Amino acid sequence: MIVAAFCFATMGVFVKLGKPFFSPAELLFYRTLIGFTSVSLVVFARRQPVLPPNWGAHLKRSFTGYAAIVCLFYAITELPLATAVTLNYTSTLFFALICVLWLREKLTGRVSVALLIGFAGIVTLLRPSFDSQTWLAALVGLMSGFFAGASIFQVRELGQMGEPEWRTVWWFTGVSTLLSLVWLVFHRFSPISSANVWILAGLGASATAGQLAMTRAYKEGRKFLAASFGYLTVVFSALMGWGLWGDVVSFEGLLAMGAIVLSGLIAARRG
């Protein structure tokens, strides 16, 4: 999971590096295309069936996952890397809230504390953004956390239906690639050159490696322990943002990020 956290932070770096050359939609297209191609090669080599009986659930998961990553990529291009990643990691809070509202699960004291701490952290982290021209990017970053939480909820439902992980990933990357392609047909395709092709290669490689490492971590390890180490993505993102772009996180910002991470860890222990 430490490897996965480092890879996902590195993916954020490549998204930010790609901003002068590509739009967020283009970056997302190449990221999902590389993942879809990689998974398809394995799936078809093993002759595994890709048409599931629960295709409607796969579509819902794919659409929410696509929305989450679109919002994340946009937020990364407009905000400091650590801020964008932290807002995306509110997904655990939204997942817990969805379980309470949708499944009528009991709102335990632990989840209540997690939601309160997380809400305080979000307000503190976003407050400076509302006073600047990055307020829209900050809200989009928060939306990435909401859609990611909804996507996690749907992945959980797919798992309860007996759907294998590889098929969930195949559908998500396939639908995301198709949606991005349709978007770009009516938008634009930026030229790929020797000056930027390495960014796309790094983006695809880091995202795919992170996905593989994360899948292995959740398969082999304990769920809460894996989720805890997953929050190292925020730490790695802060260090990379500082080292590459001189992003300095204020003391207030550090407290806000710490509150969001703590609330996520508390919420993750709900199950």
What is the rounded CA–CA span in Å between residue 167 and residue 81? Answer: 31
Task: Say whether pLDDT at 217 is over 80.
Answer: no
Alpha-carbon distances, residue 176 vs 60, 62, 79 (angstroms): 12, 7, 23
Q: CA nearest 259: which of 151, 121, 88, 137?
A: 121
Q: Is the pLDDT of residue 50 over 60?
A: yes
The overall average pLDDT reported for the chain is 86
Q: Which of 130, 122, 151, 138 has its CA nearest to residue 57? A: 151
pLDDT score at 76: 94
Tell me what the mean pLDDT of segment 110-115 comes to. 81
In this prediction, residue 56 carries a pLDDT of 87
Q: Give residue 168's pLDDT band: very low, low, confident or very high (50, 70, 90).
A: confident
The pLDDT of 82-99, averaged and rounded, is: 87
Residues 6+ apart with CB under 8 A from 223: 268, 271
CA–chain centroid gap for 62, Å, is 13
- CA-based nearest residue to 17, from 238, 199, 188, 191: 199
Highest mean pLDDT range out of 60-64, 210-214, 245-249? 60-64
* Cβ 91 vs Cβ 67: under 8 Å: no
Per-residue pLDDT for 178 more than 60?
yes
Within 13 Å of residue 164, how many CA atoms lie on the same side as its CB?
9
- Residue 252 pLDDT > 70: yes
Instruction: Give the pLDDT score at 132.
Output: 64
- Which H or E element spans position 40? helix 24-45
pTM of the model: 0.86
pLDDT tens digit string along 115-142?
888 888 887 877 655 556 688 899 999 9
For residue 99, what pLDDT is reported?
82
Instruction: Give mean pLDDT, residues 201-207.
Output: 92
Report whether 56 contacts 241 (CB < 8 A).
no
Say yes or no to pLDDT of 226 above 80.
no
